[in-house]
Structure 1
């Protein structure tokens, strides 16, 4: 039988929940998630020693943080960039501290080195990239015509194989292909210009290196402060979760920086000296950036590079060389570099990787492409933890039944 006090609590909680839901529904036109979330947290705070209430608090806080991030991306942008840089550089700072450097001095050295690399990249690469972008813009009409000619030359064989009427298809293609290709390249150039503008904004924001220094200097203190938000009984578990998440997210991000740099440099060199096509530097940088998007980035970069090959009078041999360059670079990256750097820390199936990238990109745009894979890996980690706990509880129940 259920105790009378428990019945009263259940009835009271149900009434409060109904009244609260009715209030939120009636005031939905003037309320935002912040006051609603704070109101729910205030109500839930009165429930003590209830696991469901604790999980509900975490879920509400998570929803509020995500909502505020989406609504105020411009404000959070320098803090997110600074925290990400500090997070990536933290293991190097720990290494320097172990070799008798003070944490503040190690942080200054790393921030200055990073800023120096950015400035050096700007002086060495940005003028070439700007020149190649301008050349690509001037070459767009010729490239569109070359692609259209090659398509129309090889189209009859494909149409005959597919048993499609050639005359009507050519008419529709002639009407839509030039505009479609022009729109494709215009969107690509807009993206490239926005990336250039994005890098220029980072270089001009003084606050990011300053924030990075302070966050990197006090990174361990920030971690301890976060742990202090939890009770002593829960801190070991939270510390373990942080360690596992750090292995997944930190390992993935740091590895991707190294891998994308390698892919960008090697692809650019291969396109310049082996394939000998135009815009090799621009396409190398693009290949490195797109490599951050698993699977999808590779195919997008390969298709864009293949389209540029049509500027050559005989594009067949450049296309073969491009495929060889991409195959060699991706083969070395996949067989040698990635297993040694990333290992099995992410442990996601390729289908799960592609789904996570598309899913998070839908809701978070560019940042979703960056955080999609590690976020999905973290979710899978918590699912595995839940399954492990369920298996442990079932084993305990089975042993309890056997002892009776």
Structure 2
């Protein structure tokens, strides 16, 4: 029994538990920690790709590229806040009013005659009114959110500009009395950036592509409030599987309001095409190193992570689970195929 408590695996497990406890004690700062990590990881990946591409033609300092990217990023945030935030809040209100005013006329046809009592029982307007109230409560805290984003951007910029010195200084702990702890933390950090970071990157890219293609298709169909719809599609696109299902509800309601059941068919076709692009092109390209999760696992992870982590859980639940699978040494589908070939 004593050998078990002295084993390397047990020590590694206790260090992981210690990290979890430390993060729990810092839960009031979790927004800042997650934002800083996500921005740093994504901007580092983008700057490295841009640097390698530009240096094929012009010799530029990587720090100059990093600073330029951050200036463009901050300019984008400021532009959105001052120019599009009022328009966005107005469109969200109009969008909810449009959905809450949605009504199926029982005299239209047999289908609407069947669906009308169901929608009356759901009391859609009541739930949407509550949703509007929640949104406006969050808008009142928009200053706090923007401040957290700006602090995360500044911290991220300092990390990337000074990453070589940070790595060199951190390496000093390797030969110190904290060497055992350093080795384990280095092990976890490598796995974390490889699994968690890669999945987060893929989720953001997939959500952005789906948002752009969806807005283009919806604009062709003549949908109103495209900025609000685009924001909704992007945010829900960060939630694997469930985000697509949730986004279909308001889209189908708006489609019926402006064009009847034929427009609902159009929306379903658009969603099916985008889902096919994601499943057969984006996912294999961006998440080739991931373990393929059954839909049941995906929904269960989202449910539990939302319960324990709140809204953040919807976004980081899957990447966090992938990190735990990597730590536990769960073999991915591709690794299993490779081994079977060998």
**Do they superpose with TM above 0.5?**
yes
Q: Do structure 1's residue 68 and structure 2's residue 14 form an aligned pair?
A: no
For 2:143 and 2:43, locate their aligned partners in 1 and report how far apart those are by CA, in whole Å.
Answer: 22
Q: Which residue of 42, 45, 52 corresponds with 1:88?
A: 42
- TM-score, L = length of structure 1: 0.66
Q: Which residue of 98, 101, 107 corresponds with 2:66?
A: 107
| Deviation sequence 1:334-362 (CA, Å, 0-9, x none) | 22222212223343333222222221111
> What count of residue pairs does the alignment treat as equivalent?
321
Conserved in 1, the CA contact under 8 Å of 2:101 and 2:125?
A: no
Decide which structure has the larger Cα Rg and report it. 1
Q: Do structure 1's residue 320 and structure 2's residue 265 form an aligned pair?
A: yes
Q: Do structure 1's residue 184 and structure 2's residue 184 form an aligned pair?
A: no
Residue 197 of structure 1 deviates from its aligned partner by 5.8
Residue 225 of structure 1 deviates from its aligned partner by 5.3
Conserved in 2, the CA contact under 8 Å of 1:93 and 1:107?
A: yes
- TM-score, L = length of structure 2: 0.77
Residue 298 of structure 1 deviates from its aligned partner by 0.4
Q: 1:354 matched to which residue of 2?
A: 299
Q: Which fold has the larger relative contact order, with Cα–Cα distance below 8 Å and residues 6 or more apart in sequence? A: 2
When residues 347 and 221 of structure 1 are mapped into structure 2, their CA distance, relative to the original with a 3 A threshold, is farther
Q: Which residue of 291, 298, 305 corresponds with 2:237?
A: 291
Q: Which residue of 207, 210, 214 corresponds with 2:158?
A: 214
For 2:10 and 2:111, locate their aligned partners in 1 and report how far apart those are by CA, in whole Å.
Answer: 65
Q: 1:389 matched to which residue of 2?
A: none
Q: 1:37 matched to which residue of 2?
A: none
Conserved in 1, the CA contact under 8 Å of 2:105 and 2:113?
A: no
**Which stretch of structure 1 is more off in the superposition, 216-225 or 107-116?**
216-225
| Deviation sequence 1:144-186 (CA, Å, 0-9, x none) | xx1474899647768xxxxxxxxxx96x985x44xx2122212
Residue 121 of structure 1 deviates from its aligned partner by 4.1
Q: Do structure 1's residue 259 and structure 2's residue 209 form an aligned pair?
A: no
Q: 1:379 matched to which residue of 2?
A: 324
When residues 357 and 311 of structure 1 are mapped into structure 2, their CA distance, relative to the original with a 3 A threshold, is same
Conserved in 1, the CA contact under 8 Å of 2:47 and 2:66?
A: yes
For 1:226 and 1:156, locate their aligned partners in 2 and report how far apart those are by CA, in whole Å.
Answer: 68
| Secondary structure of the structure 1 residue equivalent to 2:329 | helix
Superposition RMSD in Å: 3.7
Q: Which runs of 5+ in 1 are unaligned?
A: 1-5, 11-46, 159-168, 387-404
Spell out the pairing of 1:270-309 with structure 2 (5 A cutoff): 270-274=217-221, 276-309=222-255
Residue 372 of structure 1 deviates from its aligned partner by 0.7
Residue 376 of structure 1 deviates from its aligned partner by 0.8
**Which stretch of structure 1 is more off in the superposition, 237-246 or 112-121?**
237-246
Q: Which runs of 5+ in 2 are unaligned?
A: 332-342
When residues 80 and 50 of structure 1 are mapped into structure 2, their CA distance, relative to the original with a 3 A threshold, is same
